[in-house]
Amino acid sequence: MPKDYYKILGVDKKASKEEIKKAFHKLAHAHHPDKNNGDDKKFKEVNEAYQVLSDDKKRASYDQFGSADGPQGFGGGGFGGQGGFGGFDFRNGQGGMEFDMGDLGEIFGDFFGGGRTKSKSRKGRDVHTEIYLSFEEAVFGVEKKINLNKQSICSVCGGTGAKVGTKMDNCKTCNGQGQIREIRRSILGNFESVKTCETCFGSGKVPTQKCSECRGAGVVKKNEEITIKIPSGINNGETLRVRDQGEAIQGASAGDLYIKMNVKNHTVFTREDANLLMDLKIKLTDSLLGFNYNLKTLDGHNIEVKIPEGINNGEMLRVRGKGVPVGGGRGDIIIKIHVDIPKKLSRKTKEIIEELKKEGL
């Protein structure tokens, strides 16, 4: 019976891509194997579900053919009574969905001549982490150093897995090809699949003597400090993807690093897209007579803002070009005016106001 990817991520079948993404990041963080209470099996299951539901084409195929309760699902009796295409495996070795509707068309197109499945490139595991930024760092961008404990290329052998100074021989398992071809039989015909050789990890070569540091694996788990450039204008909760900074794997490219941003609040400003918003509380007399307000911008500059005479409570003033840097320019600072109406008045003040009232003010 197929897995219910919506249930795995804990989302509704009508969930938006953003809801699916948020659910994935929450569960991936909770089950990450590098955590003390991490669960590698659940982490892989969550990742598998996300890879399908985050892709519009794969999600449409899954909803139409692979849902747990669909009448034509892979496990619901459609296309044969044994659940699917006579036992044909639609998943790759990593647990992710390999096929989409385009692949299905290729299968039927090659039905009578014998099909061939594509070989998928190997890749290291993705790494998920999170960092905290000040409000200013998120607005203007910053470089951050991050310490990660992950599988990295062995510094002794350079990832070859061989003892320094020793030779590399052709792999006997794949005869130096790096790949192994297999014929798979199904009710649709014979299919030739290609998979990476698990002995040489696709390189076609094996060391005559293994590296003593990584024992031939080419990678070791270690702490590694990397410098990440955070772009200006990044939002709280946003995830930054850094390619090839995930876990390394011998004979293939490294996975990616996903960094969730946690932005701290500011004491004065809040953010709305490229604009910075602030509240300014002024006295009643200042609203009537106007005054010059000294504003300290987020980047530390002092500018004079003229508060005009007769400004009303709730009115907005705009300071252009002092907001969030975006697209080569900057947003604005928007000041919302709050007039402080006194609750108690002295006798003298009341007399003055009475005189103003007589003048029609």
C-beta atoms surrounding 196 within 10 Å = 20
Are 72 and 84 within 8 A, CB to CB? no
CA distance 238 to 231: 12
Beta bridge mates, 206: 169
- Domains recognised in the chain with CATH numbers: 1-109 (1.10.287.110), 113-264 (2.60.260.20), 270-358 (2.60.260.20)
Question: Is the pLDDT score of 151 beyond 80?
Answer: yes
Range from 85-99, 184-198, 231-245 carrying the lowest mean pLDDT: 85-99
DSSP letter for each residue of 256-281:
-EEEEEEEPP-SS-EEETTEEEEEEE
Average pLDDT rounded to a whole number, residues 192-202: 82
* H runs (alpha helix) in the chain: 5-9, 17-31, 40-53, 56-61, 101-109, 135-140, 284-289, 347-358
pLDDT of residue 351: 85
Phi, psi at residue 318, to the nearest 5°? -115, 130
The set of residues, in sequence order, having a beta carbon less than 8 Å from that of 57 and lying 6+ positions away, is 100, 101, 102
Of residues 199 and 212, more confidence is placed in 212
The H-or-E segment that residue 169 falls in is strand 168-170
Cβ(186)–Cβ(205) under 8 Å? no
With CA atoms as reference, report the closest residue to 339 among 280, 269, 295.
280
pLDDT the model gives residue 60: 85
What pLDDT shows up at residue 130? 95
Cα distance between residue 316 and residue 68, in whole Å: 54
Instruction: For 86-100, write each residue's pLDDT tens digit.
Output: 333 333 443 433 333
Residue 250 confidence class, pLDDT cut points 50, 70, 90: confident
Query: What 8-state DSSP symbol labels residue 55?
Result: S
Q: Most distant CA pair in the chain: distance in Å?
A: 105
What is the C-alpha separation between 156 and 209, in angstroms, rounded? 14
345 pLDDT tier (thresholds 50, 70, 90) = confident
